[in-house]
Each structure stands twice: as structure tokens, then as C-alpha cells.
Chains A and B, each alone.
Chain A
């Protein structure tokens, strides 16, 4: 069970532990929780993935449909990312239209994938200026124990890798939903990983639990691959010292390597 809020005593203890470089679960500051990725978990989706980071769990599905291209990119497909923080996944989430945190999550994931040019949008063009594929990436939280953002990023990549293009009847000009071709969605060989760094006191940590996230003062999400950063977003209204920001950049390579290796084993 997760509480509505983390008590002051727990918050102070997290901070005190961190001052000695320690975390409740014995992890190093740049260490992720146990990661598990399962693809093909929802058979009616073009692609899907279930990602667990410790007790945090997200489900990501990819669906595709025909749409019209934007006028500034007549030969390119479209992508839409949507996230829902389900009340099923935490007592902190309520029903109703998406709140800011869900919107931000979707947009950060969107940029992580778009800016890296993970999807080959030109291959999604059916008829220039008229018909292209739109890729929908839908993210649902199943259990929120912190760091939904990074779990969702991993899930999006895994689901896209898993995705196959639906059959399209050219004569009738319609998608035959439920029938997939053997053609995989065209994505880059390498993939971006979003890692969110959190500032707690003078320390920087990754993959916070929900309790740690409650103590986090500011965060920086970095989407990168093999040393190349393609997207970044700072969140929360607390300033970072230049040194702190540089510390994050210094931590990036090693943290990225570790988590990338774990993801690579599953997402080939």
C-alpha cells in the first residue's frame, strides 16, 4: 500500500540517509530497481509492452490508423502519445480529464522518441499529401511506486519495436483492423532511453521510489542514446546549481550504459 503523502519523518530520514550516500533499499544513487520487460502482452494491439521497475508498472500499447499528413510534412507519418494515470494504479490518482502530470509525461515521452527520430516516418507514407499512417502510443500506469516517466519511456520503445503494421486494403482504401502484416514498424537499430535525475538536497539520484519522489526538489529528464542527447526537460520550480547540472551530465553515461544493457537484452 502506498500512502496519500509521505510523512515528514520518512522524508527527513530519506534526506539524512542520502547525506551518507545511502538509500532505503540499499541501491547506489545511480542504480535502477530491478527491470522487467514483457512484449506482446495485448494481442489486439499492433505492439505492446509491460514494464516493471521494482513495484512500478506501466502498460504501453501501439495502435495504427490512416490519417492525413501535416501540410509541412506531406510525405511523413504522424505520431500521437497519450498517457493516463489510472486511479487503479494509485490512491493519489483521481478520475477525470488528464491532469498536468499525465500531459507532461506524454509530451516528454513524445519528444524522447520524436527528437531521436526513432521512427522512420517517411516509411509511413502511403500517398504523399493525402494518406499516411498515424502511430498512437498509449501509456497506462498500473502501479505507481515512483518514476513512471522512465518506465513509460522504456515501454514506448519496447512496444514500438514489437509493433507490426496492420493490413491495408488499397482498393477499398481502408485498414483491415485485427489483421497484421509481417512487416515490422520501421524503427532505428539503436533506441533512446529517457533517464530522469532527481535532486534531493545536495544529491542526485535516479529511479526514485514514490517516497523518494515526494522528497525530490527538482528533476531533469534526459532522452539520449550512446552519448548523444536528443531531448531534455527540467521539472519543478527549484533552481539547480551549474555544478549540480554538470554532475547530472557526468552521471549520464554510466547510468545510461547500465540501464541500456538491461533493456537491450529484451528489446533487440
Chain B
């Protein structure tokens, strides 16, 4: 495999420094923060609670409702506060990534709200958001089959790399350019979310997925430890 020198000095399969904290918002039923390099995501869970508006209620099982948002000052060029098309899509992607592990059939007619905000953004925000949300759901005591861990793999020119940062994601233009592949795995290795933006062969994609899967195990350990650390503390 051709090697590439990353601007950050990271090795191809090296992700940014990660850390996690559970229980950061006392008002919420569950909350968590996930930090990946310069990207910081916070998440809060409210519910299960009555589902409004009524016509969206599902009598068969509960509804998971995610809201992803970037704070106006989280990026270098201020973004207008509020939801836009991008955040609306990522909100839905986040729901799809999380829903397979949440036992919503225990709460027919109810809704679980998950609010995710980026306080600082440097690429990889949807992954950081999903990681924070998964911990917040567990912290809220929502029954779950599993936990999910999210990470992007990618490709810079011809090299498969892990966890693109802002520069690699939006400014790198050498050769075949940059490809970003955010993925989400359950701890037993099932894929609940994948997106691809760029230029990549099926073989390379398989390789990227292997790399991301390995990294997701490390993220899982950090999430688990943060949840353990929160035990016995006030919510």
C-alpha cells in the first residue's frame, strides 16, 4: 500500500485522541460528551415521554427522535443558528444508526428525544455525535441490546486512512483526492450506518471498513469506561 504523510503527523490507521464523559447535563435523563481531537459533541436524552404531536405516535413501539446541530461559532465561518438541510439529514442518519440497538418496543406510543450539539467542530462531527448519543441513551437507562461506536475511515489519494480531520476532509486535493466514509458499528460488529463521499474501489472500501471496525473497538472501550465512571454519581 502506498504510504502517505499526513499533515497531522498521524499514522494511516491512527485516530485522533478521544475522550468521553457521561453525565454533563443535570437536567437530562441521560447525557454525555465525546471529544475527538478538536471536535467536541454533547448529547442529552429526554424521555421516554408522551409523544407529541399525537399523529406521529406509533402504537406498536416507541419512537427515537434525534436532533443534530452545530453551534453557530463551532466552525471558523459562522453558520446561521438553527436547522438546515445538512443537519436535518444527519439527524435522520443518527436515528438510523442508533435505532437498531434501542429496545423501543418497550415504550409503545412514547418518544425518546436525543439532542446533539457540536460546541466545536473539526470534521467527524456525525461520528462524535453518534458516540455521545449512544452513551447518553445508556446513561438515561433506556433498555439497549448493545452500544454503537462510530468512526470514519477514508482515503487520501491512494492510501486508506482512519479518521479524517478537517484539513484532510475538505482541503486535501492531491491525486485521487479525499474520500470520507463515516461508519457506525455495534460492539458485536454489525454495521448500523455507512456513508461514502469520494472515489474508492470495492476492495479499498473493504479494507477501510476493517480499519474502522478495529478503531470502533477502541472507542467502545472508552465509552464503556466513561459509563462505568458515571455510576454512583448524581445524574
Contact = CB atoms under 8 A, between A and B. Distances in A.
Interface of A: 1-2, 41-46, 48, 55, 57, 59, 61-63, 65, 82, 84, 86-91, 95, 97, 136, 138, 140, 142-145, 177-178
B25 interface: yes
Contacts of B113: 87
Given A88-B42, A89-B44, A178-B76, A61 B71 contact: yes
Interface string B60-92: 000000010001111111100110000000000
Nearest to B78: A63
Given A88-B44, A91-B46, A138 B27 contact: no
B77 A177 contact: yes
A143 B27 CA distance: 6
The 3 closest A-B pairs by CB, nearest first: A61-B73, A178-B76, A88-B115
A62 B76 CA distance: 11
Contact of B71 (A43, A97, A138, A177): A138
Interface residues on B, range: 20 to 34
A44 B73 contact: yes
Interface of B: 25-29, 38, 40, 42-44, 46, 49, 67, 71-78, 81-82, 113, 115-117, 119-122, 235
Interface of B, secondary structure class, is loop
B77 A84 contact: no
B73 A143 contact: no
Contacts of A46: 73
Contacts of A55: 26-27
Contact of B120 (A42, A88, A91): A42
Given A86-B117, A87-B113, A45 B26 contact: no
Contact of B117 (A43, A48, A140, A143): A140
Interface of A, secondary structure class, is mixed
Contacts of B38: 43
A219 B75 CA distance: 36
A143 B122 CA distance: 24
A138 B77 contact: no
Contacts of B42: 88, 142
7 contacts: A2-B26, A41-B120, A42-B73, A87-B46, A136-B72, A138-B78, A178-B76
Contacts of B67: 87, 95
Contacts of B26: 1-2, 55, 143, 145
B76 A177 contact: yes
A145 B234 CA distance: 15
A89 B31 CA distance: 10
Given A1-B235, A88-B44, A95-B67, A43 B25 contact: no
A215 to B, nearest CB: 19
A143 B29 CA distance: 12
B115 A138 contact: no
A178 B121 CA distance: 12
Contacts of B77: 177-178
